[in-house]
Amino acid sequence: MNIYVCIKQVPDTEAVLQVKDGNRINEDNIKWIISPYDEYAIEEGLKLKEKQAGSTLTLITLGPARAESALRSGLAMGVENAIHIETPEIMDHKNVARALANAIKQDPNFGVVFTGKQAIDDDSYLTPIYLSEFLGVPVATNVISFSLEGDKVLVEREIDEAAKEKIEMQIPCVVAVTKGINTPRYASLMGIMKSKKIPIKKFTLAEVGITELKNRIKTEKLFSPPEKPQGKIIPGESETAVKELVTLLKEEARVL
């Protein structure tokens, strides 16, 4: 089986983001990482490969030249192949999924395609769904348990109100995983050194069948949220403080 893991490069969770030109973030001096949910997808792909003799594991991402560093980080964890669809274009989730699917479909023997349940920069949850549509295969999202039985995948996923749902799917399929399914391994020093020598296969958008972008979603405006006002401490005895608090909630906060 040929296993694939789709990953996305995102700003570090501790990065201080600033708006540039009113509709995008200023990328200067930002540290970029693999989206954390995608790390669970990589680990699950590695575990499956270790159980399936003769299988291959390939990382695939789409983005500008800097996205190669995310692939190198994944390769350092133990993955042996990587594909980079290199483009500076801003693409909506449907176009991204279409490009990823077209690249994956060039392999007639693709099997399980892992993704994270969402990317932490936009929290859209859309790409795995679109990806399954373009690949023409079933999908399960928010997956917390994965197993393989013959040519079938068994997953357990979290749904509303802490309930869980079990799904059986035929291979090939898309599996979008979430926190709790595993503990991603750390890259070893040897893995980091080996990753630098692994060739990354490059595609242009045209080479994956994207000759015209028709983004359905566009960013009109991007802005930082207003700073929260400082909290107010009401001194005094409890009885007096409670009365003043109620007054403030009525007259200033207008929530009562």
Q: What is the pLDDT along the chain (256 residues), one digit of tens a residue?
A: 999 999 999 998 887 888 887 777 777 888 899 999 999 999 999 999 999 999 999 999 999 999 999 999 999 999 999 999 999 888 889 999 999 999 999 999 999 999 999 999 888 889 999 999 999 999 999 999 999 998 899 999 999 878 999 999 999 999 999 999 999 999 999 999 999 999 999 999 999 998 888 888 778 888 878 888 788 888 888 888 898 889 888 888 788 7
Q: Rg (Cα) of the chain, in Å, rounded?
A: 22
| Two structure tokens written together for 117 | 């349940």
At residue 220, the pLDDT reads 81
pLDDT (0 to 100) of residue 127: 94
CA 48, distance to chain mean position in Å, is: 19
Answer yes or no: are the C-beta atoms of 213 and 91 closer than 8 Å: yes
- What stretches of the chain adopt beta strand conformation (E)? 2-6, 9-11, 19-20, 24-25, 32-34, 56-63, 81-86, 110-116, 139-149, 152-158, 164-170, 173-177, 201-203
Structure tokens at 29: 């001096």
> What local confidence, expressed as pLDDT, does residue 112 receive?
97
Q: Residue 40: what pLDDT?
A: 97
- Superfamily of the domain at 2-208: HUPs (3.40.50.620)
pLDDT at position 18: 81
| Dihedral sign, Cα of residue 114, residue 117, residue 122, residue 128 | positive
CATH 3.40.50.620 domain residues, the chain: 2-208
Distances from the Cα of 71 to the Cα of 35, 101, 152, angstroms: 11, 18, 28
